[in-house]
Chains A and B, each alone.
Chain A
């Protein structure tokens, strides 16, 4: 019999490294960031003049800004002049030749998550022969969507094919000077997704990573823009449950959502980037700005996220509830294991009358992980009869982790109704022993208890994503309790 402490120690000693050492000659720009870098990127992407100007303006803003220090995370300072801001897509020669070259640990994770062999290859960056199924599948779906007038393409394509839409909406939800990382992204963003749903159209399928698997190498500065015109509906799935191969440590993405009258956008994320080794070294820094605006009346934006990866997560998907009777939702599960640190939450800005927001946050800390919920609910004077419900629950596994909650509430209209619930619980030895005594082993017991804890959030995920997310949680917390 092993004691809880022994197992935790055993776990923390378990290395989870990306085994493929990359010694790759890319078409790279020397490290560093100045106007020439931005000009180079823009030229490489063959961008119109206005976009170059837009980027340069962002860069000038960024130079004046300071990296935020208020998040409850600590990390080695990032040397922004030591980062490469442009790398050409890799040639097949530089990639692993087959899955045999991939770290067995990662392959084991893929298998546990039940990822088909073929997708494993893509995720691991294996050079696969010319045309593969998913690309042709994606093309077929894109044609089908086009018949409905739906635009779903890479950001770069949108810049060329739908410049008016991009120009009309880019930076309207997350302005360039919004924050340090948003400014940086605006200056050097690599690529991302663009979605436009026309009036009255209900997007007939989940727009998911699977369909844009061919656009995986979007790089470290991803930019996404989703516009739902009047009366439309779209459900967008971002990310992947499998640990993704990525050599870039710093990720600063920006996501902007615009929902017009009676439109609904449902945005679901599963993020599982490399969390770093047991010392917390080498993991991804995920500094993301995600925001949606409920522009029209009775519009709705719903964020659901399951965050299990990254060394540092700094992320607050938010809603500006401008239209009267608009609705914002945020459902989150954030896991910090080993030395992971997550500072995540949401902002709900109530502007319109009778606007309603719901926040359900579930933070899980294990190993030496630190998990912070930071949320702001702001009811402006104009937001008559606004309502908010917030629920923040934290779960601790083991005795070396931490959970923190910072709810900020700012109510400027007395007609608002606010409800806030918070709880912190520890996975008890009692609960585990009870499961053990019924014949359930400790790993299964932990995942069962954790899944029970996260149930309200998983319910919000599209079905197949929910199943994957549960499995992911199991794998992420493997061995965290004895």
Chain B
């Protein structure tokens, strides 16, 4: 589904991704771990198409598309979803209105019929249960005045409505208490399916107790230095990243 080869990216002349390789198949959940500043979030942003990053080399293939040639909205319409580490507030625009516009632009791009208000509301009622989101948040402006936990759950809710092919979760667990973490994880687990893949970026092994990954990668200095199964995450938890950073440097 997703094939990244020798990807190099920089911001303001500073290289952050230095030849990264990653392959994700449909139905898989990949966890990406690594110390601060290793390039985890950059990877997420580059995949979603953020313009601030310069692509210096390599390729990203999504299905049959050359992802790097596409605009952020085209990528979203293809089914790439990024759950933001810091969800953005849009005052005055209701969450429902925003999501309906998003869903319909995605449906339109796929040649599907746009949903009318009634059908959309029905869908929302169904999906809002998945993340145990208070329905009143639907009427409030997008993320405006939401608590940290509400923002993260709102991201998962957007994901549930948009039903992406590839979902990238950028430190969705950061700042969540254990109950919120469980809710978010349940939301993700309920969306797992054979034709959908997840890339879960996280700092801590904790989230992976709830979202069990098929593959765990460790990223250091913009490269994947180690790949393993979920046991690797546990190993990292006890040993830290230090031994891998040295290995990466060697």
Contact = CB atoms under 8 A, between A and B. Distances in A.
Interface in A428-450: 428-431, 433-442, 444, 448-449
A428 to B, nearest CB: 7
With most chain A CB atoms within 10 A of its CB, the pick from B70, B93, B103 is B93
A438 B88 contact: no
A449 B142 CA distance: 10
B49 A436 contact: yes
A455 B91 CA distance: 10
B90 A452 contact: yes
Contacts of B109: 439
A437 B48 contact: yes
Interface string A413-436: 000000000000000111101111
Given A451-B93, A453-B92, A441 B98 contact: no
A434 B73 contact: no
A433 B92 contact: no
A130 interface: no
Contact of A453 (B71, B91, B97, B162): B91
A440 B73 CA distance: 6
Contacts of B70: 1
Nearest to A430: B88
B121 to A, nearest CB: 18
Interface in A32-82: none
A22 interface: no
Contacts of A451: 92-93
A3 interface: yes
Nearest to A434: B88
Q: What range describes how many residues of B lie at the interface?
A: 20 to 34
A376 B102 CA distance: 42
Contacts of B87: 434
Interface stretch (B24-32, B76-84, B228-236, B242-250): B76-84
B51 interface: yes
Given A1-B51, A444-B101, A452-B141, A439 B92 contact: no
Given A428-B88, A449-B90, A451-B92, A436 B98 contact: no
B105 interface: yes
B99 to A, nearest CB: 8
Contacts of A454: 92
B40 interface: no
B8 interface: no
Given A428-B88, A452-B92, A438 B48 contact: no
B106 interface: yes
12 contacts: A3-B51, A4-B51, A433-B72, A436-B73, A437-B48, A437-B72, A438-B102, A438-B158, A439-B106, A451-B92, A452-B90, A456-B92
Given A431-B89, A439-B102, A451-B92, 6 more contacts: A429-B51, A436-B71, A437-B76, A440-B102, A440-B105, A448-B93
Q: What are the 5 A-B residue pairs with the smallest beta carbon separation, nearest first?
A: A452-B92, A436-B72, A452-B93, A438-B102, A439-B76
